[in-house]
Amino acid sequence: MKLTPIQPQYSALFIDVDNTLLTFRPSSETALRKTFLAQGMNYEPTYFEVFYWIGEVLWSQQKRELISVQEIHDLIFPRLLQAIGLQGDSQEMTRLFHQLLHEEAVLEPEVTETLDYLSQRYRLYVASNGLMDMQRSRLKKAGILDYFSDLFVSDDIGAEKPSESFFLEAMRRSNTQPSDVLFIGDSISADMAGAARVAMDRCWYNRQGNPLPEALPLNHVIHRLGELKSFL
């Protein structure tokens, strides 16, 4: 994979939320445990591993545009209960899980100091698949909501990453062109591939040290968010 040069100056940065600004795993584990306990159900830590694996499978399908975010929400608890052999009200558990997740937010390392730096130089926008109310609540809980000029979340945008429609609508709302924006995110298939569809520069937050993609050109790769300050 070749890295293409970073444009010297942007006017705006689009930044993903889950596993870029906020670490999703601990928040979702806490919300899942509270969901089971609120339903009067026994909770075992292994349930979360099953839940997380099911979620990974469903999200991989969403990133290939095979299912929607709403379908993930509809499917994950029925599949979890089936997998662990328990009876329960999957719809109520889904509702309760989302309600509890609103209140859970764990920052990725170096987020606050990096946003402090970037917000003095660029307009910052959230660009996330998910639910607007939930992402707004979690960002507020984490103390970083006020860094952002606007939030672009799929249920409000009316389209999901990696579709071109998501990125085009986000640019329309922010009054930007592809050349004005650098997209920063952790997902190759949703963030980087989606930005590439509209010729938007992209920075991969490779938080897990994964192999670089062969077929998708990237403008920059970072392993810590603080590295953004070295070129922005």
Q: What is the CATH number of the domain that holds 173?
A: 3.40.50.1000
Mean pLDDT of the chain: 94
Task: For residues 121 and 194, state if they share a domain.
Answer: yes
pLDDT at 8: 55
Task: For residues 169 and 203, state if they share a domain.
Answer: yes
What gap in Å lies between CA 106 and CA 193, rounded to an integer? 26
What gap in Å lies between CA 214 and CA 193, rounded to an integer? 12
Strand order in the sheet with 150-153: 150-153, 123-128, 12-15, 181-185, 201-205, 220-222
Task: For residues 33 and 54, state if they share a domain.
Answer: yes
Task: For residues 160 and 211, state if they share a domain.
Answer: yes
Task: For residues 178 and 198, state if they share a domain.
Answer: yes
* Exposure of 213 in the CB half-sphere (CA atoms within 13 A): 17
Question: How far, rounded to the nearest angstrom, does the alpha carbon of residue 179 sit from its chain's CA centroid?
Answer: 22
Q: Which of 77, 101, 125 is the last residue of a domain?
A: 101
Could you identify the residue written with the tokens 């998708």?
A: 216
Q: What is the pLDDT along the chain (232 residues), one digit of tens a residue?
A: 555 555 458 999 999 999 999 999 999 999 999 999 999 999 999 999 999 999 999 999 998 999 999 999 999 999 999 999 999 999 999 999 999 999 999 999 999 999 999 999 999 999 999 999 999 999 999 999 999 999 999 999 999 999 999 999 999 999 999 999 999 999 999 999 999 999 999 999 999 999 999 889 999 999 999 999 999 9
| Alpha helices by DSSP H, the chain | 24-38, 45-63, 69-84, 90-101, 111-119, 132-142, 154-157, 164-174, 193-197
pLDDT at 4: 55
Task: For residues 226 and 115, state if they share a domain.
Answer: yes
| pLDDT (tens digit per residue) in 17-63 | 999 999 999 999 999 999 999 999 999 999 999 999 999 999 999 98
Neighbours of 31 (CB within 10 A): 19
pTM of the full structure: 0.92
Task: For residues 140 and 183, state if they share a domain.
Answer: yes
What gap in Å lies between CA 32 and CA 24, rounded to an integer? 12
pLDDT at 214: 86
What gap in Å lies between CA 128 and CA 75, rounded to an integer? 20
Residue 54 lies in a domain: yes
Residue ranges making up the domain that contains 86: 24-101
Question: How far, rounded to the nearest angstrom, does the alpha carbon of residue 21 sit from its chain's CA centroid?
Answer: 8
| Total count of domains within the chain | 2
What gap in Å lies between CA 221 and CA 161, rounded to an integer? 20
| pLDDT (tens digit per residue) in 194-211 | 999 999 999 999 999 999
pLDDT at 9: 83
Q: Is omega for the bond preceding 178 within 30 degrees of 0, making it cis?
A: no
Task: For residues 205 and 225, state if they share a domain.
Answer: yes
Q: Which of 71, 101, 131 is the last residue of a domain?
A: 101
Residue 181 lies in a domain: yes
Task: For residues 78 and 144, state if they share a domain.
Answer: no
Q: Which of 101, 118, 153 is the last residue of a domain?
A: 101
Task: For residues 194 and 116, state if they share a domain.
Answer: yes
Q: What is the DSSP letter of 129?
A: S
